[in-house]
Structure 1
Amino acid sequence: MTIIGAGIGGLAAAALLASRGCEVTVIEKASGPGGKARQLIVDGAAVDAGPTVFTMRDVFEALFAECGAELTDFVTVRRAEVIARHAWDAEQQLDFHADPEASEAAIGEFAGAEAARGYRAFRHEAARIHRILDQSMMRGSKISWPLPLMWRIGLWRVADLIAIRPYESMWKVLGEHFADQRLRQLFARYSTYCGSSPFETPATLMLVAHVEATGVWLIEGGMSALAAALVRLAQMHGARFRFGTAAALIEADQGRASGVILQTGERIAADAVIANADPEALASGGFGPLAAMAVSSHGVRKRSLSAMVWLAHARTEGVALQRHNVFFSPDYPREFADIRAGMPPVDPSVYICAQDRDAAEPISPGTRERLQIIVNAPANGDTHTYTEEEKAQCTLAMRRSLERCGLQLETGFPHTLLTPNAFESFLPSTGGAIYGRASHGWAASFLRQGTRTRIPGLYCAGGSTHPGAGVPMAALSGRLAMQAVLQDLASMRRSHPVAMAGGMSMRSASADATV
């Protein structure tokens, strides 16, 4: 079988399928693995340019174990004692800790005893939502709302269905827990983990806060080291990788995916094809007319956020950085109103991953360190070209936000700025939407592209598909693709294939296809 794309989802599928004796070929247009989990060179330093927060370690421990290995034999992983440092200005700072009770104490000191009690109630509610949806949805195949979900969690557990709060916005429900608007803003930021606005995201997504509270981990070498480890794991079981090789066309025989045509014209036959790409690339015809019929486009209005991302090698002064840092805007509603209007925020919140912090050796004062600096932006990279003047304005706005919070970057710091245009080039047909479909509205999580498509033998994986955005979710999508492939191939061997006119198959009532 053939996998298009060596992102985390494709790599997980490759390792799992190869470990089960399947012949696997992975085609990747880039020169190395990882997809979004990549590094770029800035001022001679390799800076992580993709995801930086590693959670749900058990997903990868289970994956490696199924392949007869241990995660820690391939990468060095240690727990982050400080999950994140937050700042609103030079005087207002709050750290979250690996120990939830330490976080609760810090909140009490920061905002008072009532705020600490609100955090305790919020933490319990987020944990309950996660408990309800972890196995039934996040780790299971895509389902519809509400009856199929009720069937999975138990038809008698109507209270659980209500408890996930799909019809209320995250911002509204956070107001029930936190009178202090700083804390409401802090927990609202978890909606941006899936590229969405807290004013439009259902409160269900509060479960992301629980996931992070259960453990944030640091990988030596960054997320690209995890991608390289998955390649080695897959190769141990015979998987083949062809980097610097682009797929041009997915082809079919008698209505079933049968192989991939490369841009060189070479054909690779396959009894199954997994597309580890944004479904919008398929829907737009990027892999040919057959793949375009296999999935549906979610449209421009439902795109997730994009970003302005500075990959920097810079000296800093002022507030001490942790690995993960958030510097908040004084007007959160205005920030997302700017994005809805099609422009980067005038006064943005800023996330910084200081990639050399919490390392084995501390940073010497006055030395440059590797920074990934992120400001949310609209996914308009296919309709708007960011000028040098606009880039300079965004850089100035970012620096003003940091300086308000007590952090200074050196003048003229070495950096590469990635705009929505760069992300559109990297993720074609998305406008630069980094997280696929936005999680806006009660039904959004049920409308993501599922593992199966309308074309038998063609499957989807990656952070833009079910179960959602993020490194562990992408790995879970690869596991779901593996399970679907093996299930369908086993079914084929027990039955006789039937040719159908028109080169398309009929969709079964149980097909996990795009809505």
Structure 2
Amino acid sequence: MSVAARLAALGHRVEVFEQSEEIGGKLGWFSRDGFSFDTGPSLLTLPAVQRDLFLKTGDPIESVLDVVALDPVAHYRFADGTEVDLPGGGLPRVARALDEALGAGTGAQWTAFQRRAAAIWDVAREPFLESPLDGPRTLLRLARSASDVATVAPWSSLRGLGRRYLDDPRLRTLLDRYATYSGSHPAKAPAALATVPFVEQAFGAWYVRGGLHRLAEAVADRAGEHGVRIRTGTPVTAVLAEHGRAEGVRLADGTEVRADVVVSAVDAARLYGDLLPRPRLRPRPSRRSTSGFVLLLALDGRTPGLRHHTVLFPDDYDAEFADLAAGRPVADPTVYVSAPDDPALRPDEDSEAWFVLVNAPVHDPRRGTDWRSPDLVERHARTVLDTMAARGLDVRDRLRWSEVRTPADLEERTGSDGGAIYGSSSDGARSAFLRPANRSPVPGLFLVGGSAHPGGGLPLVGLSARIVTDLIGPA
């Protein structure tokens, strides 16, 4: 939707084909009985990306959306019983909160790590996040500067880098969580992912009143203002490329739509494997990112002191990553709760709408977990609720109803491979820099979205749209 709005603003005639009946993709939405839930992202980081989109296509984002800073950003509960609210408003406030909650000196440890993360951000932002991917040559550009290589530390993992700065085990647990933002293992994900907590805490975390799905609606409205035609419930079954370049798409009803340029937001694995079935075009196999198992909980009553985000850590975080690597449901998962204090999401003042997520392996009936098994889904839902209760958030007697969303559901709704939230994982020293490129091997075919460069999550998806717009240029 973002690239459609940007290209239309530059004079292109654009048509969007969306397989779902609703726009938004993984930025989903569910409503029932007055309860409403964002079913994908629950916060907005690096808002400058979205502000740039709206400014380049018309009026500023504030003219159509109420974007508010979160403070605190999240409440964390560790296995030893300690708790901390991580505030918004910048790194010094975070350091003070850590000192007060976890003990003197923890703030200084985290600050030292964040200084290194800031240096990585300065080196990597332009060549790796804001520019087109150019395969191994992208890494070679960095290699020309020994100091830049030393800063980014491509030979080190996120966990390895963290242990140079963080002695407190709770800080290490906190850092490990940020690897899951890209569906990766902290001991395998590159040190460059240190930029994830840096961006969140240096530039703030934000929420859109009424739910983040309103961002998708606002982008669609902006695209429509520039003449973009959006056709929902219209799956694409093939990219037409008979004469050596992309010439359009074939729809599920057999209709062929001709175009000078095709931009795909389909999961890259599905694009190259199914819509462009020529084997030589398929990228090298890569490990899929993890997925998520979700409970949407409609609750009676209000929870005193409830934060917008709550994270409940397990006793053994490594056991969780081992379960995910083995392709099995996590026995003792980290539990993530998003419960915005937003009247638009609940039917009355004496109720709450909770989005509850635990990390999960992708849907893979042949080699891993079959998320279409009703017995498995029911057992795992009970596990999540029991785990929440054991860690101090027991809502079982307040439950009006619940909805379950599995990796298989995500695959069906969005076409993502196995329900992988971020496409390929960032495991491996070079993986974060070598995702499927925005310019495909087929002339005239471009890739955007979370499975392509520069990666998943709202800010990176927005950057992919900006990169592709620059590659295509004005009409």
In the alignment, what sits opposite 1:117?
Answer: 108
Render the CA deviation track for 1:424-455: whole Å, top value 9, x for unaligned. Answer: 22344611111110000111023210111111
Structure 1 counterpart of 2:357, from 374, 380, 388: 374
Residues 228-267 of structure 1 correspond to what in structure 2 (within 5 A)? 228-267=217-256
Shift of 1:89: 5.3
> 1:349 and 1:483 mapped to 2: Cα distance?
40
Residues 300-315 of structure 1 correspond to what in structure 2 (within 5 A)? 302-315=287-300
- Classify 1:154/1:195 alpha carbon distance in 2 versus 1 (closer, same or farther; 3 Å): closer
Residues 47-446 of structure 1 correspond to what in structure 2 (within 5 A)? 47-88=37-78, 91-99=81-89, 100-145=91-136, 148-149=138-139, 151=141, 155=144, 157-213=145-201, 214-285=203-274, 287-289=275-277, 294-296=281-283, 298-299=285-286, 302-315=287-300, 320-355=305-340, 357=341, 359=342, 367-383=350-366, 384-386=369-371, 387-411=373-397, 412-428=399-415, 430-446=417-433
SS of the aligned residue for 1:50 comes to coil
> 1:92 and 1:364 mapped to 2: Cα distance?
34
% identical equivalent positions: 30
Structure 2 counterpart of 1:35, from 25, 33, 42: 25
- Classify 1:429/1:370 alpha carbon distance in 2 versus 1 (closer, same or farther; 3 Å): closer
- Classify 1:196/1:16 alpha carbon distance in 2 versus 1 (closer, same or farther; 3 Å): same
After TM superposition, the structure 1 stretch with the greater mean CA deviation from structure 2, 388-397 or 69-78, is 388-397
CA RMSD of aligned residues (A): 2.3
- Classify 1:361/1:269 alpha carbon distance in 2 versus 1 (closer, same or farther; 3 Å): closer
SS of the aligned residue for 1:82 comes to coil
In the alignment, what sits opposite 2:469?
Answer: 482
Render the CA deviation track for 1:451-504: whole Å, top value 9, x for unaligned. Answer: 1111111111101100011011111111112222228x8xxxxxxxxxxxxxxx
After TM superposition, the structure 1 stretch with the greater mean CA deviation from structure 2, 252-261 or 13-22, is 252-261
SS of the aligned residue for 2:241 comes to strand
Shift of 1:109: 1.6
Query: What letter is aligned with 2:186?
Result: P
In the alignment, what sits opposite 1:5?
Answer: none
> 1:399 and 1:316 mapped to 2: Cα distance?
17
CA contact (8 A) 2:95 2:107 kept: yes
> 1:361 and 1:250 mapped to 2: Cα distance?
40
Query: What letter is aligned with 1:298?
Result: P
SS of the aligned residue for 2:383 comes to helix
Provide the aligned length of Structure 1 versus Structure 2: 469
In the alignment, what sits opposite 1:507?
Answer: none
Residues 3-42 of structure 1 correspond to what in structure 2 (within 5 A)? 11-42=1-32
Render the CA deviation track for 1:315-354: whole Å, top value 9, x for unaligned. Answer: 4676632111111011001111111222111111011111
CA contact (8 A) 1:143 1:446 kept: no
Shift of 1:373: 0.7
Shift of 1:274: 0.5
TM-score by length of 2: 0.93
SS of the aligned residue for 2:58 comes to coil
Shift of 1:28: 0.7
TM-score by length of 1: 0.86
Shift of 1:150: 5.2
CA contact (8 A) 2:36 2:346 kept: no
Gaps of 5+ in 1: 1-10, 490-515
> 1:467 and 1:180 mapped to 2: Cα distance?
32
In the alignment, what sits opposite 1:469?
Answer: 456
- Classify 1:251/1:361 alpha carbon distance in 2 versus 1 (closer, same or farther; 3 Å): closer
SS of the aligned residue for 1:376 comes to strand
SS of the aligned residue for 1:326 comes to strand
